[in-house]
């Protein structure tokens, strides 16, 4: 998730048991213009196992070149974005806009698959809108072109994030291909994951927004699906320690000043999940001193989890 699933966040999700994490979307053009510094490599976390790097773009040449560069720097999986609904992306005919032009989508897929030896996967929606539900067609063509896994967010582009994700609609994609299909959209807990899997027949689930302020949720869902007892949801002192660990990792990764700015949205999500966290949230998000924030976060140990966090 752009602006969310950075290296510190993905490291935590992996450590808590996520099977695979995906980088923030990288625009192929930006990738080519940036110098391949160690910093850029670190930002993508290419040395981290079980990490896929997502590329977005519309031109086959730059997409292939960016994929080649990423694979050369150690990316283990390249994911192509055909799901992003944002106007600044679809306006450039990238992201979900490619679902309106499958021939163009295929040229792009073939270029990336042909450029790298590592597996290429594809993220998509159900289609552009209710009149263009072509995810199964795109998936079958992508498989024939060499794509190794498909993730489907069960909404159309026209829906953005409105309504509920339609897990049953992903079944048509499951039937259309032999490669693994992952169902995505509105999965927030083990029961939701089981229902999404049952309705779609998919091979796995992908979790997005439910992991905001809960980087352990993916691992907990995975454990439950394996029939194991998930680790306890952190609360009290354990939650304080988890938040501080994430916070310190962000300061370390970005440096204290930028780290504090990046951390604020994550701290907001964490504090939204504790009963009585509102006052602390308001106070912490106004603070400009990174060390004072760490001290203030100590108070989380005395707050109870909200009902929402028990889900």
Ligand X SMILES: Cc1cc2nc3c(=O)[nH]c(=O)nc-3n(C[C@H](O)[C@H](O)[C@H](O)COP(=O)(O)O)c2cc1C
Residues in binding contact with ligand X, number by CB under 6 A = 20
Contacts (CB under 6 A) with ligand X, residues 120-139 = 123
Contact between 240 and ligand X (CB under 6 A)?
Answer: no
Contact between 185 and ligand X (CB under 6 A)?
Answer: yes
Which tokens belong to 279? 């006052």
SS3 string, the chain, reads CCCCCCHHHHHHHHHCCCCCEECCCEEHHHHHHCCCCHHHHHHHCCCCCCEEEEEECCCHHHHHHHHHHHHHCCCCEEEEEECCCCHHHHCCCCHHHHHHCHHHHHHHHHHHHHHCCCCEEEEEEEECCCCCCCHHHHHHHHHHCCCCEEEEEEEEHHHCCCCCCCCHHHHHHHHHCCCCEEEECCCCCHHHHHHHHHHHCCCEEECCHHHCCCCCHHHHHHHHHCCCCCCCCCCCHHHHHHHHHHHHHHHHHHCHHHHHHHHHHHHHHHHHCECCHHHHHHHHHHCCCHHHHHHHHHHHHHCCECHHHHC
CB of 231 to ligand X, least distance (A): 20
For ligand X, which is the closer residue by CB, 166 or 186? 186
Which tokens belong to 197? 């899997």
CB of 70 to ligand X, least distance (A): 15
Three-state SS at 56: strand
Contact between 25 and ligand X (CB under 6 A)?
Answer: yes
Contact between 209 and ligand X (CB under 6 A)?
Answer: yes
Q: What is the contact mask toward ligand X in residues 264 to 293, using x (rule: CB under 6 A)? A: ------------------------------
- Binds ligand X (CB under 6 A): choice among 184, 218, 262, 271: 184
- Binds ligand X (CB under 6 A): choice among 8, 29, 83, 219: 83
For ligand X, which is the closer residue by CB, 2 or 179? 2
Secondary structure letter of residue 215 according to DSSP: T
Q: What is the contact mask toward ligand X in residues 153 to 182, using x (rule: CB under 6 A)? A: x-----------------------------
For ligand X, which is the closer residue by CB, 59 or 186? 186
- Binds ligand X (CB under 6 A): choice among 24, 48, 101, 233: 24
Q: Which of 75, 84, 147, 197 is catalytic?
A: 84
CB of 184 to ligand X, least distance (A): 5
For ligand X, which is the closer residue by CB, 181 or 297? 181
CB of 157 to ligand X, least distance (A): 12
Q: Are strands 26-27 and 181-184 parallel, antiparallel or unpaired?
A: unpaired
Which tokens belong to 236? 């009290």
Instruction: Reply yes or no on whether 132 is catalytic.
Output: no
Contact between 208 and ligand X (CB under 6 A)?
Answer: yes
Contact between 3 and ligand X (CB under 6 A)?
Answer: yes
List the catalytic residues.
84
Contact residues toward ligand X (CB under 6 A) are 1-4, 24-25, 54, 81, 83-84, 123, 153, 184-187, 207-210
């Amino acid at each position: 998730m752009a602006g969310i699933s950075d290296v510190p966040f993905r490291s935590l999700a992996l450590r808590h048991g996520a099977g695979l994490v995906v980088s923030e979307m990288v625009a192929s053009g930006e990738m080519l213009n940036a110098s391949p510094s160690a910093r850029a490599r670190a930002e993508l976390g290419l040395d981290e196992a079980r990490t896929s790097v997502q590329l977005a773009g519309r031109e086959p040449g730059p997409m292939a070149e960016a994929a080649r560069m990423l694979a050369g720097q150690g990316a283990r999986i390249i994911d192509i974005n055909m799901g992003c609904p944002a106007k600044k992306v679809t306006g450039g005919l990238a992201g979900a806009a490619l679902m309106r032009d499958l021939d163009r989508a295929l040229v792009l897929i073939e270029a990336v698959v042909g450029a790298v030896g590592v597996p290429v996967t594809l993220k998509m929606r159900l289609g552009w809108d209710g009149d263009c539900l072509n995810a199964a067609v795109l998936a079958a063509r992508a498989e024939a072109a060499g794509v190794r896994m498909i993730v489907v967010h069960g909404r159309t582009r026209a829906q953005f994030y409105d309504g509920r994700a339609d897990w049953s609609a992903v079944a048509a994609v499951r039937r259309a291909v032999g490669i693994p299909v992952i169902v995505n959209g509105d999965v927030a807990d083990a029961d939701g994951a089981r229902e999404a899997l049952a309705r779609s027949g998919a091979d796995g689930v992908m979790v997005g927004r439910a992991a905001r302020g809960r980087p352990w949720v993916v691992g907990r869902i995975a454990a439950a699906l394996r029939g194991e007892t998930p680790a306890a949801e952190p609360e009290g002192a354990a939650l304080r320690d988890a938040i501080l660990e994430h916070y310190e990792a962000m300061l370390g990764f970005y440096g204290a000043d930028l780290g504090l700015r990046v951390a604020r949205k994550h701290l907001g999500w964490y504090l939204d999940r504790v009963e009585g966290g509102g006052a602390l949230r308001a106070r912490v998000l106004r603070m400009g001193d990174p060390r004072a924030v760490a001290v203030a976060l100590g108070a989380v140990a005395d707050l109870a989890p909200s009902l929402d966090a028990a889900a």
